[in-house]
């Protein structure tokens, strides 16, 4: 009998069998596990369009954010976990609703499981964009396996400082890892490209979640993005943070952001010269402004 392959696909390099007895950091099982799939309306206009985004939420995550808005599906193995025997059928039922894309949320722990699925999907649906909606805590060598299978990368870049990333998400070496990840995603796809209807069909857009008091130093992340890509990248500046899950254990993040905090970072972005992307109002999760 062949030896079971141990999981080292993300920067945690757990060497885990992903069984109940030998769980990795993410606690993901060794089978494709989906908590829900739906037509989603809350993404940026280029992703949602007028028909919605065909979103598939995978269970578990390789970042353990204390303020995670999806914590029931991202951090508890007791959560509803549909073993996705036929993910292609899920994709198919979303396409029947005329969605603009297939949007894979928190897919990183399942990268190897998804590769054959995406190969088959792309064969029969070459024009439907596949979105990799991840936290950027990924390995470049793993991401390279997705080249040609993913059309749009939507990575977060969450923290500029190592200590902040450890404190709020329990992940080492996040900033440097995210930088390498985003450079690789951009190498594969370039800047976000929209079709004549304003729908994204290819490229990379980086999401920046503003935390209270700019504790994750979005200003520094913006500076790095500008120095690295200038206007050859789309930015989504997100003002939708609200305290949930264990955020009340951390008084400094146990509140929503203010409009002033958001506007300061929007000002940094404008002053740097960014022209492509989306902004919101502080506290809004569904309103997006396409120009800034
Ligand atoms: S995907 Fe999960 S089990 Fe695999 S290396 Fe990353 S955290 Fe560990």
Between CA 222 and CA 216 the distance in angstroms is: 11
Instruction: For a ligand 1 pocket test, name from 5, 17, 23, 28 the mutation site with the most ligand atoms within 8 angstroms of its C-beta.
Output: 28
Ligand 1 neighbour 9 (Cβ under 6 A): yes
pLDDT of 79 over the 60 cut: no
3-state class percentages of the chain: helix first, strand second, coil last, to nearest 5: 35, 15, 50
What tokens does 70 get? 């999806």
Between CA 282 and CA 264 the distance in angstroms is: 11
pLDDT in tens, 10-55: 999 999 999 989 999 999 999 998 988 999 998 999 999 999 999 9
End-to-end CA distance of the chain: 59
Instruction: For a ligand 1 pocket test, name from 19, 25, 106 the mutation site with the most ligand atoms within 8 angstroms of its C-beta.
Output: 25
pTM reported for the whole predicted model: 0.94
pLDDT in tens, 84-131: 668 999 999 999 999 999 999 999 999 999 999 999 999 999 999 999
Between CA 94 and CA 38 the distance in angstroms is: 7
Task: Using the mean position of ligand 1's atoms as its centre, give its distance from the Cα of residue 249 in Å.
Answer: 26
Between CA 60 and CA 83 the distance in angstroms is: 13
What tokens does 23 get? 């769980």
Extended beta strands in 69-211, E state: 82-83, 102-105, 130-133, 152-153, 193-194, 200-209
Domains of the chain: 33-279 (3.20.20.70)
At residue 288, the pLDDT reads 53
pLDDT in tens, 238-265: 999 999 999 999 999 999 999 999 999 9
């Amino acid at each position: 009998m062949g030896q079971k392959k141990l999981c080292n696909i993300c920067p945690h390099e757990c060497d885990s069998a992903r069984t109940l007895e030998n769980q990795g950091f993410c606690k993901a099982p060794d089978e494709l596990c989906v908590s829900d799939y739906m037509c989603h309306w809350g993404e940026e206009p280029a992703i949602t369009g007028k028909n919605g985004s065909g979103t598939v939420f995978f269970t578990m995550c390789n970042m353990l954010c204390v303020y995670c808005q999806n914590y029931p599906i991202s951090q508890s193995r007791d959560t509803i976990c549909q073993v996705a025997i036929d993910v292609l059928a899920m994709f198919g039922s979303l396409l029947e609703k005329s969605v603009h894309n297939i949007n894979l949320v928190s897919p990183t722990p399942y990268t190897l499981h998804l590769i054959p699925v995406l190969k088959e999907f792309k064969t029969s649906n070459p024009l439907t964009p596949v979105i990799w909606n991840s936290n950027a805590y990924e390995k470049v060598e793993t991401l390279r396996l997705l080249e040609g299978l993913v059309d749009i990368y939507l990575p977060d870049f969450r923290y500029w400082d190592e200590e902040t990333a450890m404190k709020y998400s329990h992940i080492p070496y996040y900033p440097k890892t995210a930088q390498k990840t985003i450079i690789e995603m951009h190498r594969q796809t370039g800047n976000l490209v929209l079709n004549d209807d304003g729908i994204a069909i290819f490229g990379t857009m980086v999401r920046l979640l503003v935390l209270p008091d700019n504790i994750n130093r979005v200003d520094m992340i913006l500076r790095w993005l500008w120095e690295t890509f200038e206007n050859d990248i789309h930015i989504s500046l997100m003002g939708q943070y609200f305290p949930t899950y264990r955020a009340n254990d951390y008084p400094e993040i146990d509140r929503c952001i203010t409009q002033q905090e958001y506007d300061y970072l929007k000002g940094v972005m404008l002053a740097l010269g960014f022209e492509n992307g989306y902004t919101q109002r502080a506290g809004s999760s569904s309103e997006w402004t396409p120009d800034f």
